Amino acid sequence: MRNFLHFLLGSVRIRVVGRFPERFLNLCGGANLQFWDVKQPDGETLLACIPAYRLKRARTLAAQGMCELEVLEQDGLPFFLYRFRSRYALLAGLLFTLFGAIVLSQFILVVDVTGNESVPDSVILTELEMQGLGPGTYGPGVDRRTLANEVLLRLPQLSFLSVNISGVYAQVVVREAAPEPELEDRWAAADIVAAADGVVVDVDPLIGQAAVEEGQAVLKGEVLISGTEEQQSGDGSGTVLSTTQVRAEGKVWAHTSRTLRCATPLETGAKVPTGEKKSLFALRIFKKAVKFYPDSSFFTWKCDKITETHALTLPGGGALPLAWERQRLEAFETKPAKLQRSSAEAFLKERLEQRLTELMGEDGQVLSRKVAFSEHNGVLTGTMDAACLENIGVVQSREGKAPPQS
């Protein structure tokens, strides 16, 4: 701290020559004139450092002690600035730099998020910016506790958030909330119903009562396994004593017939490069862009736009809110092109096969399939007729329905 004050106020290195130079030090002590780094090369010479603003007083004391005082060195901020006394532009630039460093150090330039795994950085940074924390935010004005509470309310995926601000750097430490398990209501009454039309091949009820038989044709939405279990009397009369509502479980296999369609145009537009290229440059400071080109709407030709952004980074890897942006424009024309029918048929067949596989699931089987193509008004349509063996039973809850009377 003392060295900093000496630099700020300025200091001089002096040489005092006299018959009794020690008398000069005594006079300085009596006058409360600070000195340091005293050396005595010989009996009539003293070397010492004193504050620059007390030099005039030191000369008076040296004369009283019948000594001669000579200034050897000058050091400190006042002498450094004095060199710019006739260079106003450099002095103004120096003062502006110092002022900018002091002022900019109060604003956040880098926001870094750590501790997240499944929640993307972009989601957290966007929410932080909406709550008032981002590049360019005045650091001392951030209410970190309120900010953390607001972000946690808006991002339920997070269970903890802390903001640590150090100069221009803001570190946001988060902890993600444990995902809530998806609990299936095993006690709600439900039926197994048909997801598609078909002919029943096998009924395997695990819970509930079978409502259809093998060889029976069923329609989509029809109950296959009922969630109502009946308790009958043991005398063989078939009298129902009571009923119980359960969540039906089981599988119902059936032969189904699937008809799928997909279409694509045979004529489309193809991009043909014209050879015209142009590069546009901009400097991005925080969220503002300083463009070195006219507005993009000025260019009327069709083009592909490729944007390259080169952001300045700190030695530790943190990105600064200062980036150089380049946009490369490559012009093209749209010309009609005819799609080959063989390629279009292969494309449609692939899409139909993909859709059929999704419908069958892991256990379903495709017994046979037939694909036909038709063309109308430049559009090629593919139709697939498939005979399948699949489990058509799906659970349908009885919520909102009145339960059967016991």
Establish if 228 belongs to a structural domain.
Answer: yes
Q: 13 and 70 share a domain? A: yes
Going from the C-alpha of 209 to that of each of 233, 386, 400, the distances in angstroms are 17, 31, 21
Quick one: 13 and 67 in the same domain?
A: yes
Confidence of residue 230 (pLDDT cuts 50, 70, 90): confident
- Whether residue 36 lies inside any domain: the answer is yes
The whole-number pLDDT of residue 303 equals: 85
Same domain, 194 and 219: yes
* Final residue before a domain boundary, out of 145, 176, 207: 176
Give CA–CA dist 45/21, Å, rounded: 6
CATH code for the domain in which residue 147 is found: 3.10.20.310
Which of 29, 63, 81 finishes a domain? 81
Is the pLDDT at 404 greater than 50? The verdict is no
Q: What CATH number is attached to the domain comprising 33?
A: 3.30.70.340
Residue at 93 is within a domain: no
Average pLDDT over residues 384-398: 91
- Supply the range of the domain harboring residue 372: 261-267+339-391
pLDDT tens profile 198-207: 999 999 998 8
Same domain, 8 and 68: yes
Is 94 domain-assigned?
no
Average pLDDT over residues 113-125: 90
Instruction: Look at residue 398 and tell me if it is in a domain.
Output: no
Last residue of a domain, one of 252, 287, 303: 252
Q: Tell whether the model's pLDDT for residue 309 goes beyond 70.
A: yes
Assess whether 7 and 76 both reside in one domain.
Answer: yes
Count of structural domains within the chain? 5
39 and 14 within one domain = yes
Residue 103 lies in a domain: no
User: How many CA atoms are closer than 13 Å to the CA of 209, on its beta-carbon side?
Assistant: 12
Higher pLDDT among residues 176 and 290, named by residue: 176
| Mean pLDDT (whole number) for 93-120 | 81
pLDDT at 153: 92
Instruction: Provide, rounded to the nearest whole percent, the portion of the chain with pLDDT above 70.
Output: 88
136 & 201 share domain: no
Find the mean pLDDT for residues 16-45.
Answer: 88
| pLDDT, position 403 | 40
Average pLDDT value for the chain: 84
Lowest mean pLDDT, pick from 107-116, 212-221, 375-384: 107-116
Same domain, residue pair 10 and 68: yes
How do beta strands 303-313 and 319-338 pair? antiparallel
The answer to whether residue 92 sits within a structural domain is no
**To the nearest 10°, the Cα dihedral for 87, 89, 92, 93?**
-120
Asked if pLDDT for residue 171 goes beyond 70, the answer is yes
pLDDT of residue 91: 67
Phi–psi pair at 44, nearest 5 degrees:
-120, 10
Residues 6 and 77 reside in one and the same domain: yes
Distance of alpha carbon 34 from alpha carbon 72, whole angstroms:
18
Same domain, yes or no: 197 and 171: no
pLDDT, position 361: 81
And the tokens for 253?
Answer: 């296999």
116 with 167, same domain?
Answer: yes
Question: What residue spans of 38-191 are helical by DSSP H?
Answer: 55-64, 77-82, 88-104, 121-130, 144-154
Which pair of tokens denotes residue 188? 């709600």
Q: CA 382, 267, 357: angle at the middle one, nearest 5? A: 30
345 is a domain residue: yes
pLDDT digit string, tens, across residues 241-273: 777 888 889 999 999 999 999 999 988 888 888
Residues 365 and 299 in one domain: no
